[in-house]
Amino acid sequence: MSDEIERPAKRPDPSNRGERRMTEKLLSPSERILASRRKFLKTAGLGAAATTLAAPYVNAQSAPIKWRLQTYSGAPLGAHVIKPQIDAFNAAANGEMEIELYYADQLVPTAELFRAMQAGTIDAVQSDDATMASPVDISVFGGYFPFNTRFSLDLPAMFAYYGLNDIWAEAYGEVENVTWLSAGAWDPLHIFTKDPIRSLADMNGKRVFGVPTAGQFLSRYGLVPVTVPWDDVEVALQTGELDGVAWCGFTEAYEVGWADVCNYALTNSVTGAWCGSYFANTESWNKVPPHLQQLFRSTIDQSHYYRNVWYWGGEAKLRVEGEKMELTSLPAEEWAQVVADAAGFWDEIAASSPRAGKVVQAFKDYAATMEKAGYPYR
């Protein structure tokens, strides 16, 4: 018997370029894309800020301000859409304030987020207006509103240049103890299913997990919106409780595992960007000193930037290179009918209140400007 000690096999050294390339070759196309995008988390500003700042200095004169913030998203997606921002804020707050982050349904069900924040059970929320049942006449525009955008940059442009910032601030200014802080864009809306959708008729009867406004619109084609907790979606797809999801784009479907249990992806996008916002309990917000309020707003802006790049790049690469779902499309004449139906849907929503009418008019004005501007806008 040899006296030589048997050593474990050498693990690949990520610092070694040759070994790293060999490891990358073993990954599927979508795994390579997701790996590169997770690396982006560390280099896009937010992740770097959170890791390179010195350890927080705790102010001995008083205890730090403590906040609890709950997001609409589950933990896998939250790693991109919220956690980098909260980590960066906590590091930069220098011990004066600390935000505890909670994911979908951890403290309260998503549909109760607004009321819980208003009551002070939680201090802040990241969500769309519709999903968390905001009691304002513009909540229908949160999440996915059919065809109001084509690209993610459309949404912040309308908030900045077409009056939506003022409209949102006005609407929430009428609600007791809630402060609206900022809106940003997420991914486009696609439909992912276990069985293919190649015509409008194929939508009939399919039970999908989705956001309220898009579900309301798509139900006219027979899709059945079903609400389940976010963390239960994958199991519901596996057990047959759900036939698909109409909640997100390709990036999220791959990142959270839904692409593993859905076989088909419909390339027709019902809208170009999800509209989500940050909100705070007004009493909690007013207790935060101005310099920390500004820090929180600044990290929100960084988060908007990060998400725009993360989603925009990932949507294209995963649609082209992702191997987990077969792409399908509706016939051109049927898709034209959907677009025409959306115009009627806009008018129905515009008639629901004067303020909703202002939002729809902003959508129309923006669309007209983009069409007149032409390339590269439209």
261 and 133, same structural domain? no
Q: Say which CATH number the domain at 48 has.
A: 3.40.190.170
CA-wise closest residue to 38 among 80, 75, 8: 80
Helix (H, G, I), strand (E, B) or coil at 69: strand
State the pLDDT at residue 30. Answer: 74
Question: Quick check: 258 and 237 in contact, CB under 8 A?
Answer: yes
Q: How many residues does the chain have?
A: 378
Containing domain of residue 240, as a range? 189-271+323-373
Domain count, the chain: 2
Same domain, 265 and 342: yes
What token pair was written down for 263? Answer: 């076989």
Do 312 and 329 reside in the same domain of the chain? no
Nearest alpha carbon to residue 149 among 137, 138, 136, 162: 162
Which residues fall within 8 angstroms of residue 286, CB to CB, at 6 or more apart?
A: none
Percent of the chain with pLDDT over 70: 86
226 and 250 part of one domain: yes
Report which of residues 248 and 45 the model is more confident about.
248
Same domain, 296 and 327: no
CA angle 106, 112, 114 (to 5 degrees): 110
One domain for residues 219 and 261: yes
In this structure, is residue 17 part of a structural domain? no
In tens, the pLDDT along 154-187 reads 999 999 999 999 999 999 999 999 999 999 999 9
β-pair partners for 185: 275
pLDDT single digits (tens) 31-45: 776 776 566 555 555
The predicted structure's pLDDT at residue 238: 96
Q: What are phi and psi of 67, to 5 degrees?
A: -125, 150
Give yes or no for a contact between 84 and 41, defined as CB atoms under 8 angstroms apart: yes
Q: Both tokens of residue 132? A: 């968390």
Question: In this structure, are strands 326-328 and 124-127 parallel, antiparallel, or unpaired?
Answer: unpaired
Same domain, 98 and 200: no
Query: How far, in Å, CA of 136 to CA of 182, rounded?
Result: 16
Torsion angle in degrees (nearest 10) through CA of 133, 137, 142, 146: 120
For β-strands 264-271 and 189-193, DSSP reports them as: antiparallel
Q: Residue 43: its pLDDT value, please? A: 55
11 confidence band (pLDDT: 50, 70, 90): very low
Task: Give residue 44's Cα distance to chain centre.
Answer: 17
Question: Is 21 part of a structural domain of the chain?
Answer: no
- Kindly tell me the number of DSSP H helices and DSSP E strands found in the chain: 15, 11
32-86 pLDDT tens trace? 767 765 665 555 555 444 444 444 444 445 789 999 999 999 999 999 999 999 9
- pLDDT reported for residue 62: 76
In a domain, 15, yes or no: no
Query: What DSSP assignment string belongs to 206-239?
Result: -EEEE-HHHHHHHGGGT-EEE---GGGHHHHHHH
Same domain, 91 and 159: yes
Confidence of residue 368 (pLDDT cuts 50, 70, 90): very high
Note whether 279 and 117 are within 8 A (CB): yes
Q: Which residue has the tokens 């190649």?
A: 198
Q: 90 and 168 share a domain?
A: yes
d(CA 167, CA 111): 23
Tell me: do 65 and 175 sit in the same domain.
Answer: yes
Whether residue 253 sits in one domain with residue 120: no
- Measured in Å, how far apart are the chain's first and last C-alpha atoms? 75
Looking at residue 16, what is its pLDDT? 54
Determine the average pLDDT of the residues in 271-286: 97
Task: Summarize pLDDT for 206-246 with one digit per residue, the tens.
Answer: 999 988 999 999 999 999 999 999 889 999 999 999 999 99
Instruction: Mean pLDDT check: name the lowest of 125-134, 153-162, 264-273, 310-319.
Output: 310-319
Cα–Cα distance for residue pair 361/350, rounded to 1 Å: 8
pTM exceeding the 0.75 threshold for the entire prediction: yes
Mean pLDDT rounded to a whole number for the chain: 89
Answer yes or no: is 127 within a domain.
Answer: yes
DSSP state of 75: H
| Residue 5, in any domain of the structure | no
- Mean pLDDT for the stretch of residues 347-370: 98
The reply to whether 220 and 90 lie within a common domain is no
Is there a domain that residue 231 lies in? yes
Q: Residue 133: inside a domain, yes or no? A: yes
